Amino acid sequence: MTEETLQLYSYLIAVVSGILFWAGFLVFGFIARRYSSVFNKPTFHGLLMTAPSGILVYSILLILKSSLFVKNPAVSEAIQVTAYAFLALSGALCLAGILKFNSLIDELLKYKGQ
């Protein structure tokens, strides 16, 4: 196998793993939406469902960077920096959504025995 083929496989695996990660957060967002409707408390379920989309953008930009269409090193570097920015933003938003939902769950568990 050539280096380009191996790189293509690794980027395709990155896209598939990004899709699976996004699907996991989508399910988590649906659960948070149910909590929001049952307890009438904000859970930021929309944030949980959309924040991982940056990971998909990251994967797609890396595939674009490795494609034959991008031959200019400056453009390739700009694409890579943009991909990393989307990845970092997505991670920060996912963390914020999880922490907000976790604080709601902790609040609800305090009243478990009462």
Q: What pLDDT shows up at residue 60? A: 84
Q: What pLDDT shows up at residue 85? A: 94
Q: What pLDDT shows up at residue 113? A: 59
User: Considering its fold, how many domains does the chain have in total?
Assistant: 1
DSSP string, 46-104: HHHHHTTHHHHHHHHHHHHHHSTT---HHHHHHHHHHHHHHHHHHHHHHHHHHHHHHHH
Q: Which domain does 99 fall in, by range?
A: 3-110
Spatial contact of 55 and 90, defined as CB atoms under 8 Å apart = yes
- Mean pLDDT split into 10-residue runs, the chain, 114 residues: 80 83 88 89 86 85 76 83 92 91 87 67
